[in-house]
Amino acid sequence: MRAYIEDLKKHVGSEVEIRGWIYNRRVKGKIAFVLVRDGSGVVQCVGVRGEIGDERFAICDKAPQESSVVVSGVVRADERSPGGVELGIRDIRVLAEAAPNYPIQIQDVVPEVGFLMQNRHLWLRSRKQAALLRIRAEVIRGIQEFFDSRGFMRVDSPIITPAACEGTTNLFEINYFDEKAYLTQSGQLYAEAAAMALGRVYCFGPTFRAEKSKTRKHLTEFWMVEPEVAFLELDGLMELAEQFVSHLVQRCLERRKEELKVLERDTTKLEKVAPPFHRMHYNDAVEKIRKEGLEFPWGEDLGAPHEEAVTKGFDKPVMVHRYPAAVKAFYMQPDPQDAKHALCVDVLAPEGYGEIIGGSQRIHDFALLERRIEEHKLPRSAFEWYLDLRKYGAVPHSGFGLGVERTVAWIAGTEHIRECIPFPRMLYKIYP
Amino acid sequence: MRAYIEDLKKHVGSEVEIRGWIYNRRVKGKIAFVLVRDGSGVVQCVGVRGEIGDERFAICDKAPQESSVVVSGVVRADERSPGGVELGIRDIRVLAEAAPNYPIQIQDVVPEVGFLMQNRHLWLRSRKQAALLRIRAEVIRGIQEFFDSRGFMRVDSPIITPAACEGTTNLFEINYFDEKAYLTQSGQLYAEAAAMALGRVYCFGPTFRAEKSKTRKHLTEFWMVEPEVAFLELDGLMELAEQFVSHLVQRCLERRKEELKVLERDTTKLEKVAPPFHRMHYNDAVEKIRKEGLEFPWGEDLGAPHEEAVTKGFDKPVMVHRYPAAVKAFYMQPDPQDAKHALCVDVLAPEGYGEIIGGSQRIHDFALLERRIEEHKLPRSAFEWYLDLRKYGAVPHSGFGLGVERTVAWIAGTEHIRECIPFPRMLYKIYP
């Protein structure tokens, strides 16, 4: 019977057939220990020369790493093994022998990261990278489940857009049948239109920034989920954000225990992530940054070191709200208490991971929005439809964007977000 | 208590507050019937002048369509109403009065479709368009649930790609930091790499074709789900496809009854969609096309009229397999029975909807794939990584792509796929 490795524990005592690839091996005299992976897991297959014969033993001993194989054997409980089982080989067959020079040999010296990125299509087969992909898939499932179970409708926003949401710098331009168009930076404006139609919506898809930065936190192509809710104000948005982030973390803790272990993540830190998160006014954030010994002029946006200073001492994300309007996007509703500030919030992950969410209440007043579009020198004609949303049935509304890769990096405890997306696009890098 | 309209049936006899927009009205003497929509549904609110006073009655009578309102009242069971309830108004307040010239007035004459497309951001608020968006969201939930519950991992493929999967015609070119790059046509090649790492995977995202066609079946930006499975051959792929398509249809029948009614869909036709689907060899399809009175030379790909001829008489999708290799993509495994044919399958929806799935078994042999890349004059260097998948652990593997908008159009019974995506991109059209 064909079985996947992740299901082997259900078949202890039975003979099964698995299909996969040789991942690693160790031979001790007449016994071969072959690690086989099939995408669902890795299992140790044990072959005894006297039982399986010379030909099969030679396969166990010599077939190059990544050769594809079909293995039959009896599942045995084994507490020391990762999945709690091992397979006693009865038959092993090579489907296709791998070339002997597999670039990412399992060895003591870890290859240089540039080399691994160039071989990303093969690197994905390694244990840690596969674990990261599984955590990413779990985060995406969590995103959908959270919103789908709370009455939100998924509404996909377009990728090809005629205008820039936050100005035209950092945009990839495309030739659209001889018209100028851009790759979207955010689906928000479209999500706003959809929220006026369906009440509670979210869009989820790839977004693009042509930034010439090479930091470990930047990708030119990354995935973002953006909920948008009619009749929601900043306080409600912060509640939604802390529930959402907690849901994602707790879901991964429940369902991706094995993967977090492979990645050597200290999960005690994640266990604490539950509402409420600490709320900190921008002015208080400035004070804390200075108390931590950094110089920081009031009025600027936070950089990575400032975010780290703000979250220091907190074991949960911190929600910094009411940034100065001047450093934020044109569409943000001003604080009625003090119009210098915007009704916005950034959620900063602890342990130095920094911003994972940016959100705000949006301007619902037609005249104010019109003025802002003018002040920001945005092309009015491209925003006529966006202004329409205030002409016909304006309501207070709010939304945020959560970056998938940054969230995965934090949950997985991985420094580089380029490992949190299957095929990263970075400055000058689009292969494979 | 604040309530969403979709939940009102749980609150019969109680007073609730709803927040939404005026959708339509009818006044009969001293009684006003105001239809309010809040994105979750539409409810009739009944205001009696003598009970609510002149000021509130004037709002019911005069506030322009799409004005945002907060309405309090008592929920009453009413069998004749769409949701089974109506609201007896106690209080009604206007949050923002809409401009009086709402472009998409509810009237007997339906505006011209070009005008509606230009006002797509408002058109989404109409009942039919909202129903289409909800069916789309349900199809997407169904996609994820189907694969997630069957051991598939979601692996996002990149949007910005260095090379064309099926040749460089019909590609949108972008300037990627002064390098030439393209918007992806399909995530398949990347999904193949991921399948060798994780066994069973799917990618789901936007794909792009710069086709200069203006038919009702073409979009330049559309969403596609592409499962890819290691150790799967054509027969297994066809089983997966028929189960998958049936799952999507049955899920919409169960959960989007109301929306299908709004769209006046004949659901008896959808109820029949269950495995097995009829399998038809390309040669037999050619024969059927000719029997239906069309001229059709052996060896060509099927156009819309041919697909219609093939599905005539079937009330379920038809799976046409083994097309001539010459009209299909370079990566398809040849039929061992007759190498003129490829081990591929297209799933054609009935009722004239045509192709919703295209899939195949992929070439796993290194030398053959190498030859095909050469024959198709594809740039070898861009495909080195793809060849690597055959160098290291080649296995038979298969996958398909399902177009979301075409599937939604069929399930919803809508002629134009441009209404099956929130913000369609078509030839010369990217606004709003």
Model confidence pLDDT, tens digit, residues B183-208: 999 999 999 999 999 999 999 999 99
Name the residue facing B156 among A95, A223, A391 (closest C-beta): A223
Q: Measure in Å the smallest separation between the Cα of A309 and chain B Cα atoms.
A: 34
B97 alpha-carbon distance from chain centroid: 35
pLDDT given at position A235:
98
Residues 6+ apart with CB under 8 A from B277: B238, B241, B242, B245, B316, B317, B318, B319, B347
Whether pLDDT at B155 is above 80: yes
CB atoms within 10 A of CB B97: 18
Cis before A432 (ω within 30): yes
Is the CB of residue A76 less than 8 Å from the CB of residue A86? yes
Whether pLDDT at A255 is above 80: yes
| Dihedral-angle region of residue A351 (phi above 0 means left; psi in -120 to 50 means alpha; beta otherwise) | left
Residues 6+ apart with CB under 8 A from B394: A68, A95, A96, B364, B365, B366
Mean predicted lDDT score pLDDT of chain B: 95
* Beta-carbon separation of A68 and B395 below 8 A: yes
Please check whether residue B145 touches A, CB under 8 A: no
A5-96 belongs to CATH 2.10.109.10: no
Please check whether residue A405 touches B, CB under 8 A: no
Name the residue facing B392 among A66, A156, A220 (closest C-beta): A66
Please check whether residue A178 touches B, CB under 8 A: no
CA distance linking residue B252 with residue B137, whole number of Å: 10
List A residues 15-44 in contact with B (Cβ-Cβ < 8 A).
19-21, 38-40
Is the CB of residue B309 less than 8 Å from the CB of residue B289? yes
The residue among A354, A357, A335 whose CA lies nearest residue A346 is A357
Q: Measure in Å the smallest separation between the Cα of B354 and chain A Cα atoms.
A: 24
Please check whether residue B218 touches A, CB under 8 A: no
Whether pLDDT at B216 is above 90: no
Tell me the three state secondary structure of residue A411: helix
Query: What DSSP character marks residue B168?
Result: S
* Beta-carbon separation of B197 and A431 below 8 A: no
Contacts of B430 in chain A (CB under 8 A): 158, 160-162, 176, 179, 181
Whether pLDDT at A82 is above 80: no
Please check whether residue B267 touches A, CB under 8 A: no
pLDDT given at position B116:
94
Whether pLDDT at A214 is above 80: no
Contacts of B380 in chain A (CB under 8 A): none
Least confident of A86-100, A165-179, B111-125: A165-179
Which residue of chain B comes nearest to A145, CA vs CA? B141
The residue among B322, B321, B326 whose CA lies nearest residue B347 is B321
Is the CB of residue B358 less than 8 Å from the CB of residue B401? yes
pLDDT given at position B164:
58
Residues 6+ apart with CB under 8 A from B387: B366, B369, B370, B373
pLDDT band (50, 70, 90) for residue B146:
very high
Please check whether residue B361 touches A, CB under 8 A: no
Whether pLDDT at B168 is above 90: no
CA distance linking residue B356 with residue B10, whole number of Å: 39
Give the phi and the psi of residue B209 in degrees, each rounded to 5: -140, 120
Which residue of chain B comes nearest to A94, CA vs CA? B393
Q: Between B16 and A101, whose confidence is greater?
A: B16
Q: Measure in Å the smallest separation between the Cα of A197 and chain B Cα atoms.
A: 4
Burial of residue B338 (CB within 10 Å: 0-12, 13-18, 19+) is exposed
Is the CB of residue A413 less than 8 Å from the CB of residue A266? yes
CA distance linking residue B309 with residue B217, whole number of Å: 17
The DSSP-derived string for A177-208 is TTEEEEE-S-SHHHHHHHHHHHSEEEEEEEEE
Q: Measure in Å the smallest separation between the Cα of B248 and chain A Cα atoms.
A: 16
Averaged pLDDT, A385-402: 98
The residue among A16, A14, A13, A21 whose CA lies nearest residue A2 is A16
* Beta-carbon separation of B425 and A206 below 8 A: no
| Dihedral-angle region of residue A346 (phi above 0 means left; psi in -120 to 50 means alpha; beta otherwise) | beta
CA distance linking residue B402 with residue A395, whole number of Å: 37
CA distance linking residue A141 with residue B113, whole number of Å: 36
Give the phi and the psi of residue A13 in degrees, each rounded to 5: 95, -15
* Beta-carbon separation of A154 and B172 below 8 A: no
pLDDT given at position A367:
98
pLDDT given at position B22:
98
Averaged pLDDT, A1-12: 96
Contacts of A230 in chain B (CB under 8 A): 19, 38-39
CA distance linking residue A291 with residue B297, whole number of Å: 80
* Beta-carbon separation of B206 and A6 below 8 A: no
Residue with tokens 């039959």: A72
Averaged pLDDT, B260-274: 97
Whether pLDDT at B110 is above 80: no
| pLDDT, tens digit (0-9, with 9 covering 90-100), for B297-336 | 999 999 999 999 999 999 999 999 999 999 999 999 999 9
pLDDT band (50, 70, 90) for residue B163:
low
* Beta-carbon separation of A393 and B68 below 8 A: yes
Contacts of A136 in chain B (CB under 8 A): 154, 156
Alpha-carbon distances, residue B114 vs B110, B118, B123, B220, B419 (angstroms): 12, 6, 11, 17, 12
The residue among A107, A204, A120, A194 whose CA lies nearest residue A404 is A204
Q: What percent of chain A has pLDDT over 90?
A: 88
* Beta-carbon separation of B154 and A140 below 8 A: yes
Contacts of B115 in chain A (CB under 8 A): none
CATH 3.30.930.10, chain B: domain bounds: 122-420
Please check whether residue A185 touches B, CB under 8 A: no
Contacts of B173 in chain A (CB under 8 A): 174-175
Hey, what are A42's tokens? Answer: 């890795």
Name the residue facing A198 among B130, B210, B231 (closest C-beta): B130
Query: What DSSP character marks residue B44?
Result: E
Least confident of A174-178, A222-226, A257-261, B270-274: A174-178
Name the residue facing A422 among B124, B129, B190 (closest C-beta): B190
CA distance linking residue B141 with residue B138, whole number of Å: 5
Please check whether residue B385 touches A, CB under 8 A: yes
Name the residue facing A430 among B119, B181, B364 (closest C-beta): B181
Tell me the three state secondary structure of residue B342: strand
Averaged pLDDT, A302-310: 97
As a residue count, chain A comes to 432
Please check whether residue B176 touches A, CB under 8 A: yes
| pLDDT, tens digit (0-9, with 9 covering 90-100), for B362-408 | 999 999 999 999 999 888 988 999 999 999 999 999 999 999 999 99
Please check whether residue B425 touches A, CB under 8 A: yes
Hey, what are A135's tokens? Answer: 């955590």
CA distance linking residue A232 with residue A230, whole number of Å: 5
Tell me the three state secondary structure of residue A348: strand
Hey, what are B274's tokens? Answer: 């269950």
pLDDT given at position A110:
75
Least confident of A146-160, A350-364, B154-168, B379-393: B154-168
Give the CATH H-level superfamily of domain A122-420.
Bira Bifunctional Protein; Domain 2 (3.30.930.10)
* Beta-carbon separation of B172 and A172 below 8 A: no
B259 alpha-carbon distance from chain centroid: 15
CA distance linking residue B353 with residue A158, whole number of Å: 24
User: Could you tell me how many helices (H) and strands (E) chain A has, helices first?
Assistant: 13, 18
The one-letter amino acid code at B24 reads N
Q: Measure in Å the smallest separation between the Cα of B351 and chain A Cα atoms.
A: 27
**Exposure string (b/e) for A297-314, b if CB count within 10 Å is 16 or more?**
eeeeebeeebbbbbbeeb
pLDDT given at position A80:
87
Q: Measure in Å the smallest separation between the Cα of B344 and chain A Cα atoms.
A: 22
List B residues 106-135 in contact with A (Cβ-Cβ < 8 A).
119-122, 124-125, 129-130, 133-134
Hey, what are B84's tokens? Answer: 């089974």
| pLDDT, tens digit (0-9, with 9 covering 90-100), for A126-168 | 999 999 999 999 999 999 999 999 999 999 999 999 865 556 6
Contacts of B34 in chain A (CB under 8 A): none
Whether pLDDT at B165 is above 80: no
Q: Between A382 and A294, whose confidence is greater?
A: A294
Sign of CA dihedral A93, A97, A101, A105: negative
CATH 2.40.50.140, chain A: domain bounds: 5-96
As a residue count, chain B comes to 432
Please check whether residue B395 touches A, CB under 8 A: yes
Averaged pLDDT, B166-191: 88
Name the residue facing B159 among A68, A141, A221 (closest C-beta): A221
Mean predicted lDDT score pLDDT of chain A: 95
* Beta-carbon separation of B425 and A160 below 8 A: yes
pLDDT given at position B250:
98
Lateral strand order in the sheet of A318-321: A153-154, A200-208, A221-230, A397-403, A354-362, A344-349, A318-321, A278-281
Give the phi and the psi of residue A275 in degrees, each rounded to 5: -65, 155
* Beta-carbon separation of A160 and B430 below 8 A: yes
Residues 6+ apart with CB under 8 A from A169: none
